[in-house]
Structures are given as structure tokens and as C-alpha cells.
Amino acid sequence: IEQIARNVAEYSGFSQGMCYSFESPKVFDKLLLPSDCPKRKAIQIQNPLGEDFSIMRTVSVNGMLTSLATNYNRRNKNVGLYELGNVYLPKELPLKELPDERMLFTLGMYGKGDFYTMKGVIEEFFEKLGMRKKPAYEPSTLRPYLHPGRQAIVTYEGKEIAFLGEVHPVVAESYGIGERAYLAVVDIPIVLEYANFDYK
């Protein structure tokens, strides 16, 4: 499934990026997450390299936005990046058992392309996984780092499998991305339940 994700992303013009699993707690403010957001409950590292690497990430979008910003600052036009990486979601804090390590397929882009380009890429991915039914898109305002009128939850057989949308202008500005940027995140463990490679 990871190989299919890579093939679809690269065929669609995206390049692979690698992001750190360690992040700074300041990321949550940068992404406009409310103070009571469960994603703020992150695992603290006992002997971090510094504050910038002091927690295990609970969202994958900060690394992607940082990478897009680096490319934008180097005046690279029409950038598309993807990452296959884990987030670490603790069941409770302080830790009594290992966290839920979830593999996420994260896509980010700016320049040529828009919301519908991103939608096409993830639909291609689902199709290659043998998910024959059509995914449904529900307008959403759940994620404050995405534009409130330009984001959607992707559901398949009534279960949320992904989300996508345009980056909120305030967030894009705080990262230093001077044009419209788009994100999509697919939850691989949920998609696994529906993947089917039995061709007849």
C-alpha cells in the first residue's frame, strides 16, 4: 500500500519528503489549534535536543508546511510534496503503554493546482487500492489550520478515511508561504480495512 501511495504521488508530480517525528510545542499555536484540542496531548521527550524537538508529533501537517515554506523561500515554483510517516497518539498521559503509532499519507502543494487537483490524487490512490465505491466529501470546519470554507472530510462507507483543504491564510502567512497552499492527509490504518487486491 505504501508503494502504491508513492507511485500515485510521484506519477502526479509530487516528490517525497522526510519530516522529523520530534516537534516543538509551539507548533500547536502556529496551527491555530484550540487550547482544549486533544492533539495538544503530546508525548514529552525526557532528554530532548532542545525545545524544538521536545515532543512526539500528533499531527503530520507541520512538517509538510515547513517543507513547503522552505521551497517557497527558495523561489521554487509549483511544488508538490508527499510524506509517509507516523504520528504518535498517546492513549493517556503520563504514558502507561505504547502510543498509537499511525501511518499517515500526507500531501502538500502550492502553485499549479488546487483543491480539485488534490482530490484527484487521493481518489486515484483509493482506486488503485481496489476501493470500488465512490468516497463521499463532507464540508467541514473541524481543522482550524485549513480554510473554514474550503476543507472537507473524506468518508468511505460512512467512515472518515482522510481530509483535505486549502491552508488557512493566517497559517500560510505564519509559515511564510506567500500563495495558496493545499493539504491532504489519508489515514492508512483505516484505508487498510477497505483495500482489496482481488481482481476478477
What are the tens digits of pLDDT across the range 55-87? 999 999 999 999 999 999 999 999 999 999 999
Contact (CB, 8 A) for 158 and 88: no
pTM for the full predicted model: 0.93
Please spell the DSSP secondary structure of the chain, one letter per residue. Answer: -HHHHHHHHHHTT-EE----SEE-TTHHHHTT--TT-GGG--PBPSS-SSGGG-EE-S-SHHHHHHHHHHHHHTT--SEEEEEEEEEEE-SSSS-SS--EEEEEEEEEEESS--HHHHHHHHHHHHHHTT--SPPEEEE----TTEEEEEEEEEEETTEEEEEEEEEPHHHHHHHT--S-EEEEEEEHHHHHTT------
Residue 199 pLDDT more than 80? no
Query: Which residue in the block uniquely carries the three cell numbers 504514558?
Result: 95
- Does position 200 have pLDDT exceeding 70, yes or no? no
112: closest CA among 136, 79, 147? 79
How high is the pLDDT of residue 197?
A: 82
pLDDT for position 162:
96
Query: Tens of pLDDT along 163-194?
Result: 999 999 999 999 999 999 999 999 999 999 99
How much is the mean pLDDT over the chain? 94
* pLDDT tens-place string over residues 85-141: 999 999 998 889 999 999 999 999 999 889 999 999 999 999 999 998 999 999 999
Average pLDDT estimate for 22-26: 94
